[in-house]
A and B are shown apart, each in its own frame.
Chain A
Amino acid sequence: MSHMREASARQRPDFDGLFREPSIVTGVDLSIKGLGKAFGAKQILRGLDLFVPAGQFVAVVGRSGCGKSTLLRLVAGLDKPSGGTIRFGGEEASVKGNTPVRVMFQEPRLLPWARLLANVEIGLGMRKNAMANNEAALEALRAVGLGDRAQEWPSPLSGGQKQRVALARALVSKPRLLAFDEPLGALDALTRIEMQSLLERVWQRDKFTALLVTHDVAEALTLADRVIMIEDGKITFDINVDLPRPRHRGSVDLALLEERILSLLLRKDADQPEYEI
């Protein structure tokens, strides 16, 4: 029994490690105006407007293929918009290599040939100081509970552990906006819940602006200050979630909200059934 407690204590994320000194960098405003994106003749986003104040946690929901990932890739600068502007804190989306945005993808995308520490160091991009990089990467790894495995290869890790390394890599540069593209989509239910609370606590400490794409409405409601829904290339639904944190799955308020959003999502389905019955 005591042996078990010891093991879990070692695994528990060491937040104080990452945030020993109060973080100076906080979130950044995100303002999107008239954003459009077309792939060939297919118009995915049309005239999308969105303002996210610094430090807000926004969840983006929508049916599969509605353009959630496209929006996120545009915000992260991985694709060029075909129209409209994206600004961070009043500045034009900046030149490459100098973006305040970090992305966490659905896949961990760890370099299999780099040890965990080196993988996290990638998050610091081109920063030169090797000693400081090492230190920062180790702290970030500790913060996700993997500090004692810094010198291991990624391949034997479980899916959840790999995503934790990916989270450390995203956090290590203290991003001002963190964009998640269904980061927990591939995890099993229990690991997912653990990761959700990890995400929430990390966000509460660091107060970066968060943009979370998810197809799981319950997840959106557990984590986000605000949930937006994309339909036909626009935001058709935008609601603030004013529930106290930490939120408990299965609470009535949450369930009612979830019901409402789900019915909105499904309404679309009833109008245009994908399959003939």
Chain B
Amino acid sequence: MSDAPLALSASEPLSGPRGSWLAKFFIKIDWLAWAVPAGLLIAWQIASSFGLIPSTVLPSPADVALAGWKLAASGDLFINIGVSTLRALAGLAVGGGIGFVFGFANGLSKLSERLTDTTFQMLRNIPHLALIPLVILWFGIEEEAKLFLVALGVFFPIYLNTLHGIRNVDPQLVEMGRSYGLSSFALLRRVILPGALPSILVGLRFGLGVMWLTLIVAETIAAQSGIGYMAMQAREFMQVDVVVFSVLIYAALGKLADSTARLLEKLCLKWHPAFQDLMG
């Protein structure tokens, strides 16, 4: 991942010579972990080349790569990735933002919790994808439909984990802060928010997973652009290679989101003993 060096912030003294992070990064890659996927890929290619797998069922890796290349060359690929990413991030911002605000409010205020928590817990039990027919009735296949579904999906993990994080801030630390005369705002900023952060970041990671899942489904069913739409379109024309390529794109984007969340954890939780050895 090209943004790995962000993990070494400029103010941090580096343990090794400054230029060596790239070398270190490649040494850090666990080659053994990649042996199995690489082996599978080779086996797949061989099986396809010898005609063991019909190309109408599963095209060879080379064909998939070629399809990807063509899509990239025509520019469609990047437009669709851009559209999907924008949708995903918009849904994350809306759903995550609302979840964070309510998680925070309900963690701090008993009144707010009594007003809203039961409602959220009830709604949580509805699988949000089950709302697709309703959402299509409401919004058609406009952008609002995808935004609504993604936001709804992302809301719950972020809400629940923020609430949990705030509730589990060490009350002794809060008491200490009060007794040392911190204002409510300073207490929030210096004690409560950092104390809840590990849990909030866990919520974010779950939220990112739900985000892609929701978007894939929503785009497959109700969209006129995006990667899900690209895959459905290809299905109509029996372009199995494009379908497979789309699936791989989703996998890559999901992995990228997860890695970003992990990186964020490493950056924000440098103080945490569990992350200290990772930081080197």
Contacts and interface: CB of A to CB of B under 8 A. Distances in A.
Interface stretch (B41-49, B62-70, B181-189, B201-209): B181-189
Interface in A76-92: 76-78
A98 interface: yes
Contacts of B270: 153
B172 A105 contact: yes
Contacts of A155: 271-273, 276
A99 to B, nearest CB: 7
A114 interface: yes
Contact of B186 (A114, A126, A156): A126
A107 interface: yes
A153 B271 CA distance: 6
Contacts of A97: 181, 183
B90 to A, nearest CB: 31
Interface in B245-280: 269-273, 276
Contact of B177 (A98, A107, A122): A122
Interface in A169-203: 169, 173
A126 B182 contact: yes
B182 A109 contact: no
Contacts of A77: 179
A123 interface: yes
A102 B271 contact: no
A188 B247 CA distance: 60
Contact of A105 (B176, B178, B273): B176
A159 B261 CA distance: 33
Given A97-B181, A98-B181, A125-B182, A113 B194 contact: yes
Interface string A120-147: 0011011000000000000000000000
Contact of A99 (B181, B197, B273): B181
A239 interface: no
Nearest to A103: B179
A112 interface: yes
A79 to B, nearest CB: 10
B182 A107 contact: no
Interface size class of A (residues with CB under 8 A): 20 to 34
A115 B271 CA distance: 8
B250 to A, nearest CB: 35
Contacts of A264: none
Nearest to A153: B271
B190 A153 contact: no
A102 B191 contact: no
A111 interface: yes
B142 interface: no
A114 B190 contact: yes
B143 interface: no
Interface residues of B, number: 23
A109 B271 contact: no
A109 B276 contact: no
A107 B195 CA distance: 17
Contact of B271 (A96, A105, A112): A112
B237 interface: no
Contacts of B179: 76-78, 102-103
Nearest to A108: B176
B182 A122 contact: yes
Contacts of B195: 113
Contacts of B271: 112-115, 153, 155
A112 B276 CA distance: 12
A173 B182 CA distance: 13
Contact of B173 (A96, A102, A109, A115): A109
A125 B270 CA distance: 24
Contacts of A78: 175, 178-179
A99 B271 CA distance: 31
Report, nearest first, the 8 A-B pairs whose CB atoms are least far apart: A125-B181, A113-B194, A109-B176, A113-B271, A97-B181, A153-B271, A155-B273, A125-B180
Given A102-B179, A109-B173, 15 more contacts: A78-B178, A96-B178, A98-B181, A102-B180, A105-B176, A113-B194, A113-B197, A113-B271, A113-B272, A114-B271, A122-B177, A126-B183, A126-B186, A153-B276, A156-B273
17 contacts: A78-B178, A78-B179, A97-B181, A97-B183, A99-B181, A102-B179, A103-B176, A105-B176, A111-B190, A112-B271, A113-B195, A113-B272, A115-B271, A125-B180, A155-B271, A155-B273, A173-B180
